[in-house]
Homo-oligomer: A and B are copies of this chain.
Amino acid sequence: MNKVTIVGSGNWGSVAAKLIASNTLKLSSFHDEVRMWVFEETLPTGEKLTEVINQTNENVKYLPGVKLGKNVVADPDLESAVKDANMLVFVTPHQFMEGICKRVAGKIRTDAEGISLVKGMEVKKEGPCMISTLISNQLGINCSVLMGANIANEIAMEKFSEATVGYSQNKEAAEKWVQLFNTPYFNVTSVQDVEGVEMCGTLKNIVAVAAGFVDGLEMGNNTKAAIMRIGLKEMIAFSRLLFPSVKDSTFFESCGVADLITTCMGGRNRKVAEAYAKNGGKRSFEELEAEILRGQKLQGVLTAKEVYEVLTARGWVELFPLFRAVYEISTGVQPPSAIVEFSNNKPSSHHRQSML
Protein backbone atom coordinates (compact mmCIF):
# COMPACT_ATOMS: atom_id res chain seq x y z
CA MET A 1 0.00 0.00 0.00
CA ASN A 2 1.44 3.34 -1.08
CA LYS A 3 1.20 6.34 1.18
CA VAL A 4 1.47 9.85 -0.24
CA THR A 5 2.59 13.09 1.38
CA ILE A 6 2.63 16.46 -0.33
CA VAL A 7 5.33 18.82 0.87
CA GLY A 8 3.87 22.25 0.16
CA SER A 9 0.38 23.75 0.05
CA GLY A 10 0.45 26.84 -2.17
CA ASN A 11 -1.71 27.30 -5.25
CA TRP A 12 -0.15 24.49 -7.30
CA GLY A 13 0.40 22.27 -4.24
CA SER A 14 -3.29 22.48 -3.39
CA VAL A 15 -4.31 21.57 -6.94
CA ALA A 16 -1.87 18.64 -6.80
CA ALA A 17 -3.56 17.54 -3.55
CA LYS A 18 -6.97 17.62 -5.26
CA LEU A 19 -5.74 15.55 -8.22
CA ILE A 20 -3.96 13.02 -6.02
CA ALA A 21 -6.76 12.70 -3.46
CA SER A 22 -9.28 11.86 -6.18
CA ASN A 23 -7.02 9.03 -7.33
CA THR A 24 -6.01 7.50 -3.98
CA LEU A 25 -9.73 6.93 -3.30
CA LYS A 26 -10.08 5.00 -6.54
CA LEU A 27 -6.84 3.03 -6.62
CA SER A 28 -6.61 0.05 -4.31
CA SER A 29 -2.83 0.13 -4.14
CA PHE A 30 -2.87 3.54 -2.40
CA HIS A 31 -3.94 4.53 1.10
CA ASP A 32 -6.91 6.88 0.84
CA GLU A 33 -5.37 9.50 3.09
CA VAL A 34 -3.15 12.14 1.48
CA ARG A 35 -1.11 14.09 3.96
CA MET A 36 -0.20 17.69 3.06
CA TRP A 37 2.44 19.62 4.90
CA VAL A 38 1.22 23.18 5.37
CA PHE A 39 3.47 26.02 6.45
CA GLU A 40 1.26 27.19 9.29
CA GLU A 41 -0.26 30.64 9.07
CA THR A 42 -2.79 32.50 11.16
CA LEU A 43 -5.60 33.83 9.00
CA PRO A 44 -7.10 37.31 9.45
CA THR A 45 -10.00 35.58 11.23
CA GLY A 46 -7.57 34.34 13.90
CA GLU A 47 -7.93 30.69 12.81
CA LYS A 48 -5.02 28.47 11.86
CA LEU A 49 -4.76 27.63 8.15
CA THR A 50 -4.36 23.88 8.80
CA GLU A 51 -7.46 23.81 11.00
CA VAL A 52 -9.56 25.54 8.36
CA ILE A 53 -8.31 23.17 5.65
CA ASN A 54 -9.14 20.14 7.80
CA GLN A 55 -12.59 21.48 8.71
CA THR A 56 -13.65 22.75 5.29
CA ASN A 57 -11.49 20.64 2.90
CA GLU A 58 -10.53 23.89 1.26
CA ASN A 59 -7.29 25.88 1.17
CA VAL A 60 -9.06 29.17 1.72
CA LYS A 61 -5.86 31.16 1.33
CA TYR A 62 -4.21 29.69 -1.79
CA LEU A 63 -7.04 27.91 -3.63
CA PRO A 64 -10.31 29.38 -2.39
CA GLY A 65 -13.56 27.92 -3.67
CA VAL A 66 -12.17 24.48 -4.55
CA LYS A 67 -12.72 21.33 -2.46
CA LEU A 68 -9.53 19.31 -2.08
CA GLY A 69 -11.26 16.09 -1.01
CA LYS A 70 -12.09 14.83 2.50
CA ASN A 71 -9.10 12.51 2.46
CA VAL A 72 -6.59 15.38 2.36
CA VAL A 73 -5.17 15.97 5.85
CA ALA A 74 -3.29 19.21 6.48
CA ASP A 75 -0.37 18.79 8.87
CA PRO A 76 1.69 21.75 10.18
CA ASP A 77 4.53 19.48 11.37
CA LEU A 78 6.93 18.70 8.54
CA GLU A 79 8.64 15.71 10.18
CA SER A 80 5.38 14.09 11.19
CA ALA A 81 3.94 14.71 7.71
CA VAL A 82 6.72 12.91 5.85
CA LYS A 83 7.65 10.05 8.19
CA ASP A 84 5.18 7.37 7.04
CA ALA A 85 5.05 8.18 3.33
CA ASN A 86 6.77 6.20 0.61
CA MET A 87 5.74 8.77 -2.04
CA LEU A 88 6.83 12.35 -1.44
CA VAL A 89 5.58 15.18 -3.66
CA PHE A 90 7.65 18.37 -3.42
CA VAL A 91 5.87 21.55 -4.45
CA THR A 92 7.20 24.60 -2.61
CA PRO A 93 8.86 27.78 -3.80
CA HIS A 94 12.29 27.03 -5.15
CA GLN A 95 14.23 28.87 -2.45
CA PHE A 96 12.75 26.77 0.40
CA MET A 97 13.80 23.41 -0.99
CA GLU A 98 17.32 23.30 0.42
CA GLY A 99 16.12 24.07 3.96
CA ILE A 100 13.31 21.53 3.72
CA CYS A 101 15.69 18.81 2.54
CA LYS A 102 17.97 19.48 5.51
CA ARG A 103 15.06 19.21 7.93
CA VAL A 104 13.71 15.90 6.63
CA ALA A 105 17.00 14.15 5.77
CA GLY A 106 17.24 10.90 7.72
CA LYS A 107 13.62 11.20 8.87
CA ILE A 108 11.90 9.61 5.90
CA ARG A 109 11.36 5.99 4.89
CA THR A 110 14.36 4.44 3.21
CA ASP A 111 12.14 3.07 0.43
CA ALA A 112 10.63 6.49 -0.33
CA GLU A 113 10.39 7.89 -3.87
CA GLY A 114 10.26 11.63 -4.58
CA ILE A 115 8.81 13.82 -7.30
CA SER A 116 9.51 17.53 -7.74
CA LEU A 117 6.89 19.92 -9.11
CA VAL A 118 9.20 22.86 -8.38
CA LYS A 119 9.80 24.94 -11.49
CA GLY A 120 13.05 26.81 -11.76
CA MET A 121 16.49 25.70 -10.71
CA GLU A 122 19.81 27.30 -10.07
CA VAL A 123 22.13 27.59 -13.02
CA LYS A 124 25.65 28.21 -11.79
CA LYS A 125 29.00 28.43 -13.50
CA GLU A 126 29.99 24.98 -12.39
CA GLY A 127 26.77 23.72 -13.95
CA PRO A 128 23.11 23.74 -13.08
CA CYS A 129 21.96 22.61 -9.69
CA MET A 130 18.67 20.89 -10.43
CA ILE A 131 16.02 20.59 -7.75
CA SER A 132 15.54 16.88 -8.42
CA THR A 133 19.28 16.36 -7.96
CA LEU A 134 19.25 18.38 -4.74
CA ILE A 135 16.45 16.16 -3.38
CA SER A 136 18.13 12.98 -4.56
CA ASN A 137 21.47 13.89 -3.06
CA GLN A 138 20.28 15.30 0.23
CA LEU A 139 17.64 12.68 0.99
CA GLY A 140 19.30 9.69 -0.67
CA ILE A 141 16.15 8.86 -2.66
CA ASN A 142 15.23 8.57 -6.30
CA CYS A 143 13.50 11.74 -7.55
CA SER A 144 11.39 12.29 -10.68
CA VAL A 145 9.89 15.58 -11.86
CA LEU A 146 6.46 16.65 -13.12
CA MET A 147 6.25 19.68 -15.44
CA GLY A 148 3.89 20.92 -18.12
CA ALA A 149 1.47 23.58 -19.25
CA ASN A 150 -0.07 23.80 -15.81
CA ILE A 151 -1.86 26.99 -14.86
CA ALA A 152 -3.05 25.79 -11.46
CA ASN A 153 -6.41 27.54 -11.40
CA GLU A 154 -7.41 26.15 -14.80
CA ILE A 155 -6.68 22.60 -13.63
CA ALA A 156 -8.58 23.25 -10.39
CA MET A 157 -11.59 24.07 -12.58
CA GLU A 158 -11.06 20.69 -14.28
CA LYS A 159 -10.27 22.18 -17.67
CA PHE A 160 -8.41 19.74 -19.90
CA SER A 161 -4.65 19.89 -19.48
CA GLU A 162 -1.52 17.77 -19.67
CA ALA A 163 1.72 17.17 -17.82
CA THR A 164 4.96 15.27 -18.29
CA VAL A 165 6.70 13.08 -15.72
CA GLY A 166 10.45 12.91 -16.27
CA TYR A 167 12.35 10.05 -14.68
CA SER A 168 15.93 8.84 -14.81
CA GLN A 169 15.97 5.06 -14.31
CA ASN A 170 13.00 3.70 -12.44
CA LYS A 171 10.19 3.28 -14.96
CA GLU A 172 7.96 1.51 -12.44
CA ALA A 173 8.15 4.43 -10.04
CA ALA A 174 7.36 6.80 -12.91
CA GLU A 175 4.28 4.79 -13.83
CA LYS A 176 3.11 4.98 -10.22
CA TRP A 177 3.42 8.76 -10.39
CA VAL A 178 1.46 8.81 -13.63
CA GLN A 179 -1.30 6.74 -11.98
CA LEU A 180 -1.35 9.09 -9.01
CA PHE A 181 -1.70 12.32 -11.02
CA ASN A 182 -3.60 11.27 -14.13
CA THR A 183 -7.32 12.11 -14.36
CA PRO A 184 -9.71 12.35 -17.32
CA TYR A 185 -9.01 16.10 -17.51
CA PHE A 186 -5.31 15.94 -16.55
CA ASN A 187 -3.42 13.77 -18.97
CA VAL A 188 -0.02 12.66 -17.69
CA THR A 189 2.66 10.85 -19.67
CA SER A 190 6.17 9.83 -18.67
CA VAL A 191 9.49 10.16 -20.47
CA GLN A 192 12.88 8.85 -19.44
CA ASP A 193 14.60 12.24 -19.45
CA VAL A 194 14.52 13.91 -16.06
CA GLU A 195 17.05 16.58 -17.08
CA GLY A 196 15.23 17.48 -20.29
CA VAL A 197 11.88 17.85 -18.52
CA GLU A 198 13.37 19.96 -15.71
CA MET A 199 15.37 22.18 -18.11
CA CYS A 200 12.15 22.94 -20.02
CA GLY A 201 10.54 24.27 -16.84
CA THR A 202 13.41 26.70 -16.27
CA LEU A 203 14.51 27.87 -19.70
CA LYS A 204 11.00 28.64 -21.00
CA ASN A 205 10.99 31.70 -18.72
CA ILE A 206 13.85 33.29 -20.68
CA VAL A 207 11.87 32.83 -23.90
CA ALA A 208 8.78 34.32 -22.22
CA VAL A 209 10.79 37.48 -21.50
CA ALA A 210 11.77 37.65 -25.18
CA ALA A 211 8.11 37.14 -26.19
CA GLY A 212 7.12 39.94 -23.83
CA PHE A 213 9.59 42.31 -25.52
CA VAL A 214 8.01 41.50 -28.89
CA ASP A 215 4.54 42.20 -27.47
CA GLY A 216 5.72 45.48 -26.00
CA LEU A 217 7.18 46.53 -29.36
CA GLU A 218 3.88 45.52 -31.04
CA MET A 219 5.65 43.50 -33.70
CA GLY A 220 2.81 41.08 -34.39
CA ASN A 221 2.22 37.33 -34.36
CA ASN A 222 4.76 36.41 -37.03
CA THR A 223 7.64 37.90 -35.11
CA LYS A 224 6.45 36.51 -31.80
CA ALA A 225 6.14 33.01 -33.25
CA ALA A 226 9.63 33.32 -34.75
CA ILE A 227 11.12 34.40 -31.44
CA MET A 228 9.36 31.57 -29.59
CA ARG A 229 10.67 29.07 -32.13
CA ILE A 230 14.25 30.34 -31.91
CA GLY A 231 13.91 30.26 -28.14
CA LEU A 232 12.75 26.65 -28.26
CA LYS A 233 15.75 25.69 -30.39
CA GLU A 234 18.11 27.40 -27.96
CA MET A 235 16.41 25.60 -25.05
CA ILE A 236 17.08 22.29 -26.78
CA ALA A 237 20.67 23.17 -27.69
CA PHE A 238 21.52 24.44 -24.20
CA SER A 239 19.97 21.42 -22.49
CA ARG A 240 21.86 19.05 -24.76
CA LEU A 241 25.16 20.78 -24.24
CA LEU A 242 24.76 20.42 -20.48
CA PHE A 243 23.21 16.95 -20.56
CA PRO A 244 24.00 15.00 -23.73
CA SER A 245 21.33 12.46 -22.75
CA VAL A 246 18.52 15.00 -23.24
CA LYS A 247 16.15 13.90 -26.01
CA ASP A 248 14.71 16.15 -28.75
CA SER A 249 11.37 14.37 -28.40
CA THR A 250 10.97 15.65 -24.82
CA PHE A 251 10.41 19.13 -26.27
CA PHE A 252 7.31 17.87 -28.08
CA GLU A 253 5.81 16.86 -24.70
CA SER A 254 3.63 19.05 -22.50
CA CYS A 255 6.68 20.26 -20.55
CA GLY A 256 8.20 21.53 -23.82
CA VAL A 257 6.25 23.19 -26.57
CA ALA A 258 2.92 23.35 -24.69
CA ASP A 259 4.32 24.97 -21.55
CA LEU A 260 6.31 27.37 -23.75
CA ILE A 261 3.14 28.43 -25.56
CA THR A 262 1.17 28.95 -22.34
CA THR A 263 4.00 30.90 -20.73
CA CYS A 264 4.55 33.13 -23.78
CA MET A 265 0.81 33.85 -24.14
CA GLY A 266 -0.01 34.63 -20.52
CA GLY A 267 2.38 34.50 -17.61
CA ARG A 268 4.14 37.04 -15.46
CA ASN A 269 7.52 36.98 -17.20
CA ARG A 270 5.90 37.95 -20.48
CA LYS A 271 3.83 40.65 -18.80
CA VAL A 272 6.67 42.47 -17.07
CA ALA A 273 8.89 42.21 -20.16
CA GLU A 274 6.09 43.72 -22.24
CA ALA A 275 5.91 46.68 -19.87
CA TYR A 276 9.70 47.01 -19.98
CA ALA A 277 9.71 47.24 -23.77
CA LYS A 278 6.74 49.62 -23.81
CA ASN A 279 8.72 51.95 -21.58
CA GLY A 280 11.70 51.69 -23.92
CA GLY A 281 13.80 50.12 -21.18
CA LYS A 282 13.65 53.34 -19.13
CA ARG A 283 12.02 51.79 -16.08
CA SER A 284 13.91 48.93 -14.45
CA PHE A 285 12.68 45.38 -14.19
CA GLU A 286 12.78 45.63 -10.38
CA GLU A 287 10.47 48.62 -10.43
CA LEU A 288 8.02 47.07 -12.91
CA GLU A 289 8.10 43.73 -11.09
CA ALA A 290 7.14 45.38 -7.79
CA GLU A 291 4.36 47.36 -9.48
CA ILE A 292 2.88 44.62 -11.65
CA LEU A 293 3.44 41.42 -9.71
CA ARG A 294 2.87 42.76 -6.19
CA GLY A 295 5.16 40.37 -4.39
CA GLN A 296 5.24 37.48 -6.86
CA LYS A 297 8.70 36.94 -8.24
CA LEU A 298 10.03 37.07 -11.78
CA GLN A 299 12.08 34.02 -12.81
CA GLY A 300 13.01 34.78 -16.41
CA VAL A 301 15.38 37.70 -15.94
CA LEU A 302 17.24 35.90 -13.17
CA THR A 303 17.47 32.73 -15.22
CA ALA A 304 18.71 34.72 -18.23
CA LYS A 305 21.51 36.07 -16.04
CA GLU A 306 22.41 32.65 -14.67
CA VAL A 307 22.40 31.07 -18.12
CA TYR A 308 24.51 33.94 -19.48
CA GLU A 309 27.10 33.22 -16.81
CA VAL A 310 27.28 29.62 -17.96
CA LEU A 311 27.56 30.77 -21.59
CA THR A 312 30.48 33.11 -20.88
CA ALA A 313 32.24 30.63 -18.61
CA ARG A 314 32.10 27.94 -21.29
CA GLY A 315 32.62 30.10 -24.37
CA TRP A 316 29.14 29.39 -25.73
CA VAL A 317 27.81 32.97 -26.01
CA GLU A 318 27.86 33.06 -29.81
CA LEU A 319 25.81 29.89 -30.01
CA PHE A 320 22.86 31.45 -28.18
CA PRO A 321 22.05 34.85 -29.72
CA LEU A 322 18.52 34.93 -28.29
CA PHE A 323 19.49 34.05 -24.71
CA ARG A 324 22.26 36.62 -25.01
CA ALA A 325 19.88 39.29 -26.32
CA VAL A 326 17.44 38.72 -23.43
CA TYR A 327 20.27 39.12 -20.95
CA GLU A 328 21.68 42.24 -22.62
CA ILE A 329 18.27 43.89 -22.99
CA SER A 330 17.20 43.15 -19.43
CA THR A 331 20.42 44.62 -18.06
CA GLY A 332 20.11 47.76 -20.20
CA VAL A 333 23.13 47.02 -22.41
CA GLN A 334 20.87 46.86 -25.48
CA PRO A 335 17.51 48.46 -26.27
CA PRO A 336 14.41 46.21 -26.39
CA SER A 337 14.41 46.34 -30.20
CA ALA A 338 17.61 44.26 -30.16
CA ILE A 339 15.40 41.22 -29.60
CA VAL A 340 14.83 40.99 -33.35
CA GLU A 341 18.25 42.14 -34.49
CA PHE A 342 20.44 39.34 -33.25
CA SER A 343 19.80 37.46 -36.45
CA ASN A 344 22.00 39.93 -38.32
CA ASN A 345 24.87 38.29 -36.53
CA LYS A 346 25.23 35.81 -39.37
CA PRO A 347 28.35 33.86 -38.46
CA SER A 348 27.05 32.82 -35.06
CA SER A 349 23.61 32.17 -36.49
CA HIS A 350 25.09 29.80 -39.04
CA HIS A 351 27.30 28.20 -36.46
CA ARG A 352 24.27 27.72 -34.27
CA GLN A 353 22.30 26.15 -37.07
CA SER A 354 24.94 23.68 -37.98
CA MET A 355 25.12 22.72 -34.34
CA LEU A 356 21.39 22.22 -33.82
Contact = CB atoms under 8 A, between A and B. Distances in A.
A161 B258 contact: no
Contacts of A100: none
Given A159-B219, A248-B249, A226 B258 contact: yes
A315 interface: no
Contacts of A189: 353
Contact of A229 (B224, B229, B258): B258
A187 B342 CA distance: 11
A45 interface: no
Interface residues of A, number: 49
A225 interface: yes
Main secondary structure of the interface of A (DSSP, over half): helix
Nearest to A233: B252
B159 A261 contact: no
A223 interface: yes
Contacts of A187: 226, 343, 349
A155 interface: yes
A40 interface: no
A232 interface: yes
A348 to B, nearest CB: 13
A266 interface: yes
Given A149-B226, A160-B340, 19 more contacts: A149-B222, A149-B225, A149-B229, A151-B222, A154-B219, A154-B223, A162-B226, A187-B226, A221-B262, A221-B266, A225-B262, A228-B258, A229-B252, A229-B253, A229-B258, A229-B261, A232-B257, A236-B252, A249-B356
